[in-house]
Structure 1
Amino acid sequence: MLVTGFPAGMFQTNCYILAHDDASDCVVVDPGQDAAEPLAQFLDQQGLTPRAVLLTHGHLDHTWSVAPVCERYGIPAYIHPDDRYMLSDPGRGMGPGMKQIVGDAVFREPAEVIELADGDEVTVAGIDFVVDHTPGHTQGSVVLRTEITTGDGPLQIALTGDTLFQGSIGRSDLPGGDHDQLLASIAAKLLVLGDDTAILPGHGGTSTIGHERAGNPFLVGLSASR
């Protein structure tokens, strides 16, 4: 399976593209600021057509380009209902500094929005995703899990958005954020996963659950819980 991405815009938000090998359909995750054109160029070069945009949460640095991407390809966007309001009113999820960056820009929902719920199993472009609701960074944050086949066997991948990073966790000081809730979400939804589970975060480099369990300073003393 193709799993790739690129950091977009001033926020360097990771926009991901997933597709089965030799397939023409793909899934786009979190197209942020200035992501639309490099995304289109990559898809054209690879002969890929997106079938949906999946959003890990509603913050503008992850959703900036969702409406134009969905409009260009005539595809839906998936988001948890607790963050849906930010698609058309992103200022409600940002601090004062971020609002100044946006200025007079106008945002809107894509024509088709499909709401995600905890435990949903979503199949797009032939790829099966499991949705884990992980509130704390925002109230509608989700982790999207899927499995790929490697030379060493199956490998689980978790697209963690801004819930868990390499060596860090998401901020919780913006509207809808809650630090204790974020840690509880990580304990309940991520630390229960196998150590070899790869994490693809919303910013920065990739990691594994085992690496973060052992070395992430924000997870010291935090145990898996259900």
Structure 2
Amino acid sequence: MSLQYKIVPVTPFQQNCSIVWCDETHQAAIIDPGGDIQQLQQVVEELGVNVTQLLLTHGHLDHVGGTAPLAQILNVPIIGPQRDDEFWLQGLPRQSEMFGFPLTEPFAPTQWLNDGDIVKVGNQTLQVFHTPGHTPGHVIFYSADAQVAFVGDVLFKGGIGRTDFPQGDHPTLVNSIKTKLWPLGNEVTFVPGHGPLSTFGHERVTNPFVADEMPLY
């Protein structure tokens, strides 16, 4: 019994939307359905899983653009992010204009998330960590069982999230990575919002933005 996942890049920004499911119950969640919802529905059908919720790491358009219509089609709740990203969700029409996306209406999630919350996917558990910096209400989802974390735009292979958007903050982001992600363990694989997967251990050694300080001898 374990958590399974499939990554489906969506939107012109090639955002890593993740379909995660419990292989015992076949219950599933979709993390960050940013768009291309017909493609997502097709993959869900191919996997033979039953989506029971949509999970959001943060309020940026390329991560949430397909959420409201997909929630309506599937008749499922929208869970997350943390409430400090409400202004991003309310500002979706402006984001659509800025990035040349089709008009995306504002929406509110069914439930906001907080640090320490738990999300159940079938018999599997995802731990929620509040990781501000890229956006103030950003959260990540971590499966201790599968040793995998879905980190949105907090951390990338060789990079970290942008902090030049409204209410972004570089020192806050670095602190989130070092105090929330690193303690989960070097072996943990993470699925970033864009680009290839990596492990926390690899980034601690090689990532120029957050690599551990090398000891002086």
TM-score by length of 2: 0.90
- Residues 92, 104 of structure 2: 8 Å contact kept: no
Of the candidates 127, 135, 140, which is equivalent to residue 130 of structure 1?
Answer: 127
Q: Which residue of 1 aligns with 2:25?
A: 23
Structure 2 runs not aligned, ≥5 long: none
Match of 1:6 in 2: 8
Q: CA deviation at 1:22?
A: 4.8
Aligned to 1:109: 107
For 1:200-219, list aligned pairs within 5 A: 200-219=191-210
Q: Distance in 2 between matches of 1:221 and 1:108?
A: 40
- Paired amino acid for 2:43: F
Instruction: For structure 1, list consecutive stretches of 5 or more residues without a partner in the other structure.
Output: 149-154
8 A Cα contact 2:127 2:142, kept in partner: yes
Q: Deviations over 1:46-104 (max 9, x none)?
A: 22121111111110110000001110111111111111332232256x5xx9615136x
- The CA distance in 2 between the partners of 1:102 and 1:222, in whole Å, is 41
Cα deviation 1:24-51 (Å, max 9, x = unaligned):
31010001132x1111001112221211
Identity of aligned residues (%): 38
1:152 corresponds in structure 2 to none
Name the CA distance, whole Å, in 2 between partners of 1:91 and 1:186. 30
Q: Any idea what SS the aligned residue of 2:144 has?
A: strand
Matched residues in 2 for 1:198 and 1:129: separation? 14
- Root mean square deviation, CA, Å: 2.0
**Aligned-residue offset at 1:115:** 0.7
Correspondence for 1:44: 45
**Counterparts of 2:194 and 2:157 in 1: how far apart (Å)?**
9
Distance 1:21 1:221, change over 3 A: closer
- Judge conservation of contact 1:10–1:33 (CA < 8 Å) in 2: no
Within a 5 Å distance, the mapping from 1:151-170 to structure 2 comes to 155-170=146-161
Q: TM-score, normalization: structure 1? A: 0.86
User: Per-residue deviation at 1:113?
Assistant: 1.4
Query: What is the DSSP-based 3-state SS (H/G/I as helix, E as strand, rest coil) of the residue aligned with 2:184?
Result: coil
Aligned residues: 211
How do 1:171-190 and structure 2 match up within 5 A? Answer: 171-190=162-181
